[in-house]
Amino acid sequence: MGRLFGTDGVRGVANADLTAELALGLSVAAAHVLAEAGTFEGHRPKAVVGRDPRASGEFLEAAVVAGLASAGVDVLRVGVLPTPAVAHLTGALGADLGVMLSASHNAMPDNGIKFFARGGHKLADELEDRIESVYEEHRTGAPWQRPTGSGVGRVSSYDQGLDQYIAHLLGVLPNRLDGLKIVLDEAHGAAARVSPEAFARAGADVITIGAQPDGLNINDGCGSTHLDLLKAAVVEHGADFGIAHDGDADRCLAVDGAGEEVDGDQILAVLALAMREHGTLRGDTVVATVMSNLGFKLAMEEQGLALVQTAVGDRYVLESMKEHGYALGGEQSGHVIVLDHATTGDGTLTGLLLAARVAETGRTLADLAGVMKRLPQVLINVPDVDKSRVKTSAELSAAVTEAERELGSTGRVLLRPSGTEPLVRVMVEAADIEQARSVASRLADVVKSALG
């Protein structure tokens, strides 16, 4: 069996890869593993369970709740909320475990399970590995030890979660957003109620699109993976800028007043300078991944800020931040972590802080984002290949070496197996967009032939 847990929990096509039986079994295994680790010692265990609006989340939530309760864990169902809200509530309510059902930016047929440890932090790799092995042991034979009578978990709905989370977000804002007109694209996802409410309460004039989730339309042509609707809406309404979330709202991308994209690197750059000015950017350091644009690295150097780069995945950014005490980190895709106020990427918080900076300075978003110049970057996803052989293929290695020689010091190449999908990402940066396209296309062809 391949590893169930990827870089962001367990993910797959709902009811095919990710079944009710798997969701139930993993939840029981998680309860047993955390009990073994002493997490539940001396008290009755409690879990927070939330989901995004996907139709499959309804039956998967039922399976997770049943699994946890059958293992003796009391469950608070918080309903449809963003991933960072579930993480926040796990900490705020003193729960031993949080569970979020979402496939984030993936298409509607997919779903996923993400576990949070006490405090709302992502589970350590070794705990995920242990959950997987315990699940597999019991799936193939050994019966679970199950509580009976009053030992079974009790299940209740926790309806205050949305207001509690919004209050937390507003409590973090350094200033109000009065006078700003902002378009929000909620991707028909988990933040459809939270985000517009938070921005409106902060004083912004809010226009929403993609805020009518029906269980089937999440991420469908909208949100942070499809910015065209937001770009058009910002221009049409004469808005100051727009904010786009993904399905579970742990990401935030933006669009300036002219309808131009402001990506995660640029958002990080704007927030880094704001935090330094306010004295909250510890060590004058930002953490980002190797996927960050070279222009971001150059901008940070120019501003006298240090940049620490990690492997791709917000969990690795977070690990580095926690280990060294850094306050800000994130990814080009729009996962931004402000560690003093969130334990995971929080798209609504990021958007609010970005808007607060615009309001505070009186400058346009385009002007603020201009602190960095993006070098042309081409990303090609190559599907249906054996991503496990990326590092061992001699043919691919030779092609990458040749590409790097051609680009010299003005560009770079990055090949990365996706942590959540069966594909390999080919990323090429160069001073010239045509050269970047040419090199990326050539490498994508080699990936197909060498790993297909």
Which two three-digit tokens encode residue 423? 């594909």
Give the closest residue to 222 by CA, choosing from 84, 382, 113, 107: 107
Provide φ and ψ at 416, rounded to 5°.
-145, 125
Assess whether the region 5-159 and the region 163-369 belong to the same CATH fold: yes
Q: Is 104 part of any known ligand binding site?
A: yes
pLDDT, mean of residues 294-318: 91
* pLDDT the model gives residue 410: 73
DSSP result, 403-414 = HHHHHGGG-EEE
Half-sphere exposure of 114 (CA within 13 A, CB side): 27
For residue range 140-159, list pLDDT tens digits in order. 877 888 999 999 999 999 99
DSSP element (H, E) containing 170: helix 161-172
Instruction: Find the range with the poorest average confidence among 130-144, 153-167, 249-263, 267-281.
Output: 130-144
Question: Has residue 2 got a pLDDT over 70?
Answer: no
**Do residues 359 and 199 lie in contact, with contact meaning Cβ atoms separated by under 8 Å?**
no
Exactly one of 102, 104, 195, 224 is catalytic; name it: 104
Question: 392: which 2 tokens?
Answer: 């061992």
Fold topology of 163-369? Alpha-D-Glucose-1,6-Bisphosphate; Chain A, domain 3 (3.40.120)
What is the DSSP secondary-structure string of 316-336? HHHHHHHHHT-SEEE-TTSBE
CA distance 232 to 420: 30
Q: How many helices (H) and strands (E) does the chain have?
A: 14, 19
125 is in an annotated binding site: no
Q: Which residue has the tokens 């010091």?
A: 409
The CATH number of the domain covering residues in 5-159:
3.40.120.10
The mean of the pLDDT values for the chain is 94
Residue (of 422, 6, 348, 360) closest to 180 by Cα position: 360
Nearest-angstrom CA–CA distance, 244 and 256: 11
Residues 262-286 have a mean pLDDT of: 98
pLDDT digits 0-9 by tens, 166-192:
999 999 999 999 999 999 999 999 999
CA distance 445 to 183: 39
70: pLDDT confidence band, cut at 50, 70 and 90?
very high
Under a CB-based contact definition with an 8 Å cutoff, are residues 85 and 98 in contact?
A: no
Q: What is the pLDDT of residues 72-100, one digit of tens each?
A: 999 999 999 999 999 999 999 999 999 99
Amino acid type, 384: D
**pLDDT mean over 338-353:** 97
Annotated binding residue at 256?
no
DSSP states of 132-170 as a string? HHHHHHHHTTPPPP---GGGSPPEEE-TTHHHHHHHHHH
Alpha-carbon dihedral of residues 57, 63, 67, 73, nearest 10 degrees?
50
Q: Which residues contact 25 (CB under 8 A, 6 or more apart)?
A: 67, 135, 138, 139
Nearest 10 degrees: Cα torsion 230, 232, 233, 235: 120
Whether the pLDDT of residue 422 is over 90: the answer is: no
Whole-number CA gyration radius for the chain: 22
The pLDDT of residue 432: 87
Tens of pLDDT along 196-251? 999 999 999 999 999 999 999 999 999 999 999 999 999 999 999 999 999 999 99
Would you say residue 139 has pLDDT above 90? no
pLDDT at 1 over 70: no
For residue 292, what is the DSSP state? S
- The residue to which tokens 């994130």 are assigned: 330
Mean pLDDT of the region 307-328? 92
How many residues are given for the chain? Answer: 452
pLDDT for 15 beyond 90? yes
Is 104 noted as a catalytic residue in this protein? yes
User: CA distances (Å), 238 to each of 70, 180, 181, 441, in order?
Assistant: 54, 11, 8, 38
pTM above 0.85, yes or no: yes
% of the chain residues with pLDDT over 90: 82
Q: Is 250 annotated as a binding residue?
A: yes
- Domain spans, the chain: 5-159, 163-369, 377-451
At 291, is the pLDDT very low, low, confident or very high (cuts 50, 70, 90)? confident
Measure the CA–CA gap between 239 and 207, rounded to whole angstroms.
Answer: 9
Phi/psi of residue 389, each to 5°? -100, 10
For range 354-363, the mean pLDDT: 98
CA-nearest of 352, 330, 344, 340 to 173 is 352
**Looking at domain 377-451, does it have CATH number 3.30.310.50?**
yes
Q: Residue 334: name the closest of 383, 288, 390 by CA.
A: 288
Q: Token pair 């935030």 is at which residue?
A: 252
